[in-house]
Homo-oligomer: A and B are copies of this chain.
Protein backbone atom coordinates (compact mmCIF):
# COMPACT_ATOMS: atom_id res chain seq x y z
CA UNK A 1 0.00 0.00 0.00
CA UNK A 2 1.49 3.33 -0.99
CA UNK A 3 1.43 6.61 0.94
CA UNK A 4 -1.51 7.99 -1.03
CA UNK A 5 -3.72 5.00 -0.28
CA UNK A 6 -2.87 5.13 3.41
CA UNK A 7 -4.01 8.68 3.71
CA UNK A 8 -7.10 8.49 1.53
CA UNK A 9 -10.21 9.97 3.09
CA UNK A 10 -13.83 8.99 2.50
CA UNK A 11 -17.08 10.74 3.24
CA UNK A 12 -19.91 8.70 4.75
CA UNK A 13 -23.50 9.99 4.82
CA UNK A 14 -26.23 8.16 6.72
CA UNK A 15 -29.63 9.42 5.56
CA UNK A 16 -32.39 8.71 8.08
CA UNK A 17 -36.06 9.64 8.22
CA UNK A 18 -35.34 12.13 11.04
CA UNK A 19 -31.63 12.95 10.95
CA UNK A 20 -28.68 12.92 8.57
CA UNK A 21 -25.28 11.93 9.94
CA UNK A 22 -22.10 12.61 8.01
CA UNK A 23 -18.50 11.79 8.80
CA UNK A 24 -15.02 11.99 7.33
CA UNK A 25 -13.39 8.58 7.70
CA UNK A 26 -9.77 7.70 7.11
CA UNK A 27 -8.67 4.69 5.05
CA UNK A 28 -8.09 2.71 8.28
CA UNK A 29 -11.60 3.38 9.62
CA UNK A 30 -10.77 6.25 11.98
CA UNK A 31 -13.43 9.00 12.13
CA UNK A 32 -11.81 12.45 11.75
CA UNK A 33 -14.95 14.58 11.95
CA UNK A 34 -18.66 14.10 12.36
CA UNK A 35 -21.90 16.12 12.09
CA UNK A 36 -25.64 15.59 12.32
CA UNK A 37 -28.42 17.76 10.87
CA UNK A 38 -32.19 17.24 10.64
CA UNK A 39 -33.42 15.58 7.42
CA UNK A 40 -36.65 17.59 7.23
CA UNK A 41 -37.85 14.88 4.88
CA UNK A 42 -41.28 16.52 4.50
CA UNK A 43 -39.60 19.43 2.65
CA UNK A 44 -38.85 17.05 -0.20
CA UNK A 45 -35.82 15.29 -1.67
CA UNK A 46 -34.05 18.34 -3.12
CA UNK A 47 -34.09 20.02 0.29
CA UNK A 48 -32.84 16.70 1.70
CA UNK A 49 -29.91 16.76 -0.73
CA UNK A 50 -29.00 20.27 0.47
CA UNK A 51 -29.16 19.03 4.07
CA UNK A 52 -26.85 16.14 3.21
CA UNK A 53 -24.38 18.53 1.60
CA UNK A 54 -24.60 20.73 4.71
CA UNK A 55 -23.91 17.76 6.99
CA UNK A 56 -20.94 16.83 4.81
CA UNK A 57 -19.53 20.38 4.96
CA UNK A 58 -19.88 20.51 8.75
CA UNK A 59 -18.16 17.13 9.12
CA UNK A 60 -15.29 18.29 6.90
CA UNK A 61 -14.93 21.57 8.82
CA UNK A 62 -14.65 19.60 12.05
CA UNK A 63 -12.13 17.23 10.43
CA UNK A 64 -10.19 20.19 9.07
CA UNK A 65 -10.34 18.93 5.48
CA UNK A 66 -11.81 20.13 2.20
CA UNK A 67 -13.75 18.39 -0.58
CA UNK A 68 -10.53 18.20 -2.59
CA UNK A 69 -9.04 15.90 0.05
CA UNK A 70 -11.86 13.34 -0.19
CA UNK A 71 -11.57 10.35 -2.53
CA UNK A 72 -15.25 9.39 -2.73
CA UNK A 73 -18.54 9.45 -0.84
CA UNK A 74 -20.87 6.68 0.33
CA UNK A 75 -24.55 7.26 0.99
CA UNK A 76 -26.61 4.95 3.21
CA UNK A 77 -30.38 5.19 2.95
CA UNK A 78 -33.46 3.37 4.21
CA UNK A 79 -36.29 2.29 1.95
CA UNK A 80 -36.68 0.28 -1.22
CA UNK A 81 -34.03 1.17 -3.76
CA UNK A 82 -32.16 0.16 -6.89
CA UNK A 83 -28.58 0.11 -5.59
CA UNK A 84 -26.70 -0.14 -8.93
CA UNK A 85 -28.85 2.67 -10.39
CA UNK A 86 -28.47 4.83 -7.24
CA UNK A 87 -32.25 5.33 -7.09
CA UNK A 88 -34.68 5.43 -4.20
CA UNK A 89 -37.88 3.63 -5.26
CA UNK A 90 -40.59 3.93 -2.58
CA UNK A 91 -38.88 4.66 0.75
CA UNK A 92 -41.49 4.39 3.55
CA UNK A 93 -39.52 6.63 5.91
CA UNK A 94 -38.97 9.35 3.28
CA UNK A 95 -42.48 10.08 2.01
CA UNK A 96 -42.50 11.91 -1.31
CA UNK A 97 -38.96 10.82 -2.23
CA UNK A 98 -40.23 8.15 -4.65
CA UNK A 99 -38.22 7.33 -7.80
CA UNK A 100 -35.54 9.80 -6.75
CA UNK A 101 -31.98 9.50 -8.19
CA UNK A 102 -30.46 10.30 -4.80
CA UNK A 103 -26.92 9.12 -5.54
CA UNK A 104 -26.35 11.34 -8.55
CA UNK A 105 -28.05 14.33 -6.93
CA UNK A 106 -25.81 14.07 -3.86
CA UNK A 107 -22.72 13.48 -6.02
CA UNK A 108 -23.51 16.65 -7.99
CA UNK A 109 -24.18 18.67 -4.82
CA UNK A 110 -20.86 17.76 -3.19
CA UNK A 111 -18.77 17.35 -6.35
CA UNK A 112 -17.58 13.83 -5.49
CA UNK A 113 -18.10 10.38 -7.00
CA UNK A 114 -20.67 8.61 -4.84
CA UNK A 115 -22.26 5.21 -4.29
CA UNK A 116 -25.60 4.29 -2.72
CA UNK A 117 -26.10 1.48 -0.24
CA UNK A 118 -28.98 0.17 1.88
CA UNK A 119 -28.59 1.50 5.45
CA UNK A 120 -28.51 -1.90 7.17
CA UNK A 121 -25.99 -3.23 4.61
CA UNK A 122 -23.86 -0.12 5.20
CA UNK A 123 -23.99 -0.56 8.99
CA UNK A 124 -23.03 -4.21 8.54
CA UNK A 125 -20.10 -3.16 6.40
CA UNK A 126 -19.08 -0.60 9.04
CA UNK A 127 -18.87 -3.32 11.69
CA UNK A 128 -17.03 -5.58 9.22
CA UNK A 129 -14.51 -2.96 8.15
CA UNK A 130 -13.92 -0.99 11.34
CA UNK A 131 -15.98 -2.49 14.17
CA UNK A 132 -16.56 -5.68 16.10
CA UNK A 133 -16.23 -7.95 13.04
CA UNK A 134 -12.96 -6.34 11.89
CA UNK A 135 -11.10 -9.65 11.86
CA UNK A 136 -13.94 -11.88 10.62
CA UNK A 137 -14.14 -13.41 7.14
CA UNK A 138 -17.93 -13.05 7.09
CA UNK A 139 -20.66 -11.35 9.10
CA UNK A 140 -24.42 -11.53 9.54
CA UNK A 141 -25.57 -8.28 11.16
CA UNK A 142 -29.01 -7.70 12.71
CA UNK A 143 -30.42 -4.26 13.54
CA UNK A 144 -33.05 -4.39 16.26
CA UNK A 145 -35.29 -1.35 16.00
CA UNK A 146 -38.80 -0.55 14.82
CA UNK A 147 -38.28 -3.52 12.49
CA UNK A 148 -35.61 -6.21 12.23
CA UNK A 149 -33.08 -5.23 9.57
CA UNK A 150 -30.02 -7.08 8.41
CA UNK A 151 -26.88 -7.05 6.35
CA UNK A 152 -24.55 -9.77 5.09
CA UNK A 153 -20.86 -9.44 4.29
CA UNK A 154 -18.90 -12.40 2.90
CA UNK A 155 -15.22 -12.18 1.93
CA UNK A 156 -15.40 -8.38 1.66
CA UNK A 157 -18.47 -8.62 -0.62
CA UNK A 158 -21.73 -6.95 0.38
CA UNK A 159 -24.61 -9.32 -0.43
CA UNK A 160 -26.79 -6.70 -2.11
CA UNK A 161 -28.94 -9.23 -3.94
CA UNK A 162 -29.98 -9.30 -7.57
CA UNK A 163 -32.85 -6.87 -6.89
CA UNK A 164 -31.23 -4.83 -4.08
CA UNK A 165 -33.05 -6.93 -1.44
CA UNK A 166 -30.16 -9.03 -0.13
CA UNK A 167 -29.65 -9.36 3.62
CA UNK A 168 -33.28 -8.92 4.69
CA UNK A 169 -32.48 -11.28 7.56
CA UNK A 170 -35.56 -10.27 9.54
CA UNK A 171 -37.85 -11.69 6.88
CA UNK A 172 -37.15 -15.38 7.20
CA UNK A 173 -40.26 -17.37 8.15
CA UNK A 174 -40.38 -18.72 11.71
CA UNK A 175 -43.99 -19.85 11.92
CA UNK A 176 -45.58 -21.29 8.76
CA UNK A 177 -48.95 -21.65 10.48
CA UNK A 178 -50.78 -19.22 12.76
CA UNK A 179 -47.90 -16.80 12.34
CA UNK A 180 -48.13 -13.27 13.67
CA UNK A 181 -48.70 -10.42 11.24
CA UNK A 182 -45.71 -8.32 10.22
CA UNK A 183 -46.13 -4.70 9.12
CA UNK A 184 -44.61 -5.48 5.72
CA UNK A 185 -47.62 -7.67 4.91
CA UNK A 186 -46.24 -11.15 5.59
CA UNK A 187 -47.22 -13.58 8.35
CA UNK A 188 -44.94 -15.50 10.67
CA UNK A 189 -41.69 -13.76 9.73
CA UNK A 190 -38.98 -13.01 12.29
CA UNK A 191 -39.78 -9.30 12.32
CA UNK A 192 -43.30 -10.11 13.57
CA UNK A 193 -41.66 -11.48 16.74
CA UNK A 194 -38.37 -9.61 17.02
CA UNK A 195 -38.77 -5.82 16.78
CA UNK A 196 -39.92 -2.87 18.87
CA UNK A 197 -43.25 -3.03 17.02
CA UNK A 198 -43.66 -6.70 17.92
CA UNK A 199 -42.67 -6.18 21.57
CA UNK A 200 -45.09 -3.28 22.05
CA UNK A 201 -47.93 -5.18 20.35
CA UNK A 202 -47.30 -8.26 22.44
CA UNK A 203 -47.12 -6.18 25.61
CA UNK A 204 -50.36 -4.37 24.81
CA UNK A 205 -52.10 -7.73 24.34
CA UNK A 206 -50.94 -8.90 27.75
CA UNK A 207 -51.96 -5.60 29.38
CA UNK A 208 -55.42 -5.96 27.87
CA UNK A 209 -55.49 -9.54 29.13
CA UNK A 210 -55.08 -8.13 32.65
CA UNK A 211 -51.49 -9.28 33.27
CA UNK A 212 -49.79 -8.12 36.47
CA UNK A 213 -46.88 -5.78 35.69
CA UNK A 214 -45.17 -2.75 37.19
CA UNK A 215 -45.35 -1.14 33.75
CA UNK A 216 -48.97 -0.19 34.57
CA UNK A 217 -47.68 2.35 37.13
CA UNK A 218 -45.55 4.04 34.46
CA UNK A 219 -48.49 4.22 32.08
CA UNK A 220 -50.83 5.54 34.80
CA UNK A 221 -48.36 8.33 35.47
CA UNK A 222 -48.86 9.41 31.85
CA UNK A 223 -45.86 7.80 30.14
CA UNK A 224 -46.13 6.12 26.74
CA UNK A 225 -45.21 2.46 26.38
CA UNK A 226 -41.75 2.09 24.83
CA UNK A 227 -39.18 -0.74 24.68
CA UNK A 228 -37.03 1.37 27.03
CA UNK A 229 -39.74 1.40 29.71
CA UNK A 230 -40.22 -2.36 29.32
CA UNK A 231 -36.45 -2.90 29.60
CA UNK A 232 -36.21 -0.67 32.69
CA UNK A 233 -39.05 -2.46 34.45
CA UNK A 234 -37.53 -5.83 33.54
CA UNK A 235 -34.26 -4.64 35.09
CA UNK A 236 -36.18 -3.73 38.24
CA UNK A 237 -37.64 -7.22 38.47
CA UNK A 238 -40.92 -7.05 36.53
CA UNK A 239 -41.66 -10.61 35.44
CA UNK A 240 -43.89 -9.85 32.46
CA UNK A 241 -41.36 -7.41 30.98
CA UNK A 242 -38.55 -9.92 31.32
CA UNK A 243 -40.70 -12.75 29.95
CA UNK A 244 -41.57 -10.88 26.76
CA UNK A 245 -38.00 -9.70 26.18
CA UNK A 246 -36.75 -13.28 26.62
CA UNK A 247 -39.47 -14.59 24.29
CA UNK A 248 -38.11 -12.18 21.69
CA UNK A 249 -34.57 -13.43 22.35
CA UNK A 250 -35.73 -16.98 21.73
CA UNK A 251 -37.21 -16.04 18.34
CA UNK A 252 -34.05 -14.14 17.46
CA UNK A 253 -31.94 -17.21 18.25
CA UNK A 254 -34.02 -19.29 15.83
CA UNK A 255 -33.82 -16.52 13.23
CA UNK A 256 -30.04 -16.67 13.44
CA UNK A 257 -30.14 -20.48 13.02
CA UNK A 258 -31.87 -20.13 9.65
CA UNK A 259 -29.32 -17.56 8.50
CA UNK A 260 -26.41 -19.62 9.82
CA UNK A 261 -27.52 -22.70 7.88
CA UNK A 262 -27.87 -20.68 4.68
CA UNK A 263 -24.66 -18.63 4.98
CA UNK A 264 -22.48 -20.16 7.70
CA UNK A 265 -20.89 -16.83 8.70
CA UNK A 266 -17.95 -16.49 11.04
CA UNK A 267 -19.71 -13.92 13.22
CA UNK A 268 -23.20 -12.67 14.05
CA UNK A 269 -23.61 -9.17 15.51
CA UNK A 270 -26.62 -7.50 17.10
CA UNK A 271 -26.99 -3.73 16.78
CA UNK A 272 -29.66 -1.07 16.36
CA UNK A 273 -31.62 1.09 18.77
CA UNK A 274 -33.17 -1.73 20.87
CA UNK A 275 -30.20 -3.51 22.47
CA UNK A 276 -31.33 -3.33 26.13
CA UNK A 277 -28.19 -1.66 27.41
CA UNK A 278 -26.08 -4.50 25.97
CA UNK A 279 -23.68 -5.91 28.54
CA UNK A 280 -24.13 -2.97 30.96
CA UNK A 281 -27.49 -4.28 32.23
CA UNK A 282 -28.69 -7.60 33.58
CA UNK A 283 -31.47 -7.63 30.99
CA UNK A 284 -29.01 -7.04 28.15
CA UNK A 285 -26.75 -9.84 29.33
CA UNK A 286 -29.67 -12.25 29.81
CA UNK A 287 -31.05 -11.29 26.41
CA UNK A 288 -27.93 -12.22 24.47
CA UNK A 289 -27.42 -15.37 26.56
CA UNK A 290 -30.96 -16.46 25.69
CA UNK A 291 -30.29 -15.73 21.99
CA UNK A 292 -27.14 -17.86 22.11
CA UNK A 293 -28.89 -20.66 23.99
CA UNK A 294 -31.72 -20.94 21.46
CA UNK A 295 -29.22 -20.76 18.61
CA UNK A 296 -27.14 -23.59 20.10
CA UNK A 297 -30.21 -25.79 20.57
CA UNK A 298 -31.33 -25.45 16.97
CA UNK A 299 -28.10 -25.25 14.97
CA UNK A 300 -25.82 -28.01 13.65
CA UNK A 301 -23.44 -28.70 16.56
CA UNK A 302 -20.27 -27.83 14.58
CA UNK A 303 -21.71 -24.41 13.72
CA UNK A 304 -23.30 -23.86 17.12
CA UNK A 305 -19.86 -24.17 18.70
CA UNK A 306 -17.98 -22.05 16.22
CA UNK A 307 -20.19 -19.11 15.24
CA UNK A 308 -19.78 -16.12 17.57
CA UNK A 309 -22.88 -14.07 18.50
CA UNK A 310 -22.03 -10.69 20.01
CA UNK A 311 -23.07 -7.06 20.28
CA UNK A 312 -22.04 -4.69 17.52
CA UNK A 313 -19.55 -2.02 18.61
CA UNK A 314 -20.11 1.11 16.51
CA UNK A 315 -23.60 1.98 17.75
CA UNK A 316 -25.32 4.78 15.81
CA UNK A 317 -22.09 5.57 13.93
CA UNK A 318 -22.09 2.23 12.05
CA UNK A 319 -24.20 3.73 9.23
CA UNK A 320 -21.97 6.62 8.18
CA UNK A 321 -18.73 4.75 8.91
CA UNK A 322 -20.04 1.84 6.82
CA UNK A 323 -21.16 4.21 4.05
CA UNK A 324 -17.61 5.58 3.92
CA UNK A 325 -16.32 2.00 3.91
CA UNK A 326 -18.62 1.13 0.99
CA UNK A 327 -17.21 4.09 -0.96
CA UNK A 328 -13.70 2.85 -0.19
CA UNK A 329 -14.64 -0.68 -1.31
CA UNK A 330 -16.15 0.66 -4.55
CA UNK A 331 -12.93 2.57 -5.29
CA UNK A 332 -10.75 -0.46 -4.52
CA UNK A 333 -12.81 -2.77 -6.74
CA UNK A 334 -12.95 -0.26 -9.57
CA UNK A 335 -16.69 0.36 -9.32
CA UNK A 336 -16.07 4.04 -8.58
CA UNK A 337 -13.53 6.33 -10.23
CA UNK A 338 -11.15 8.18 -7.93
CA UNK A 339 -11.92 11.90 -7.60
CA UNK A 340 -9.49 14.71 -8.43
Question: A residues within 8 Å of B by Cβ?
Answer: 80, 137-138, 150, 152, 154-155, 157, 159-169, 171-177, 184, 186-187, 189, 251, 254, 257-266, 298-300, 302-303, 306-307
Contacts and interface: CB of A to CB of B under 8 A. Distances in A.
A304 B39 CA distance: 32
Nearest to A167: B262
Contact of A154 (B159, B175, B186, B254): B159
A248 to B, nearest CB: 12
A307 B162 CA distance: 9
A173 B172 CA distance: 9
13 contacts: A138-B162, A155-B157, A157-B157, A161-B263, A163-B306, A165-B302, A165-B303, A168-B264, A171-B257, A172-B257, A172-B258, A172-B262, A176-B254
Contacts of A259: 262
Contact of A254 (B157, B173, B263): B173
A172 B189 CA distance: 12
A177 B175 contact: yes
Contacts of A261: 165, 168-169, 171-172, 189
A264 B174 contact: no
A262 B263 contact: yes
A80 B302 contact: yes
Given A162-B265, A262-B259, A265-B162, A168 B300 contact: yes
Given A174-B176, A298-B173, A263 B159 contact: yes
Given A163-B302, A176-B254, 5 more contacts: A138-B161, A163-B303, A173-B257, A173-B258, A175-B176
A165 B300 contact: yes
B172 A172 contact: yes
A298 B186 CA distance: 6
Nearest to A164: B264
Contacts of A160: 264
Contacts of A263: 159, 161, 166, 262
Nearest to A267: B162
Nearest to A300: B165
Contacts of A166: 262-264
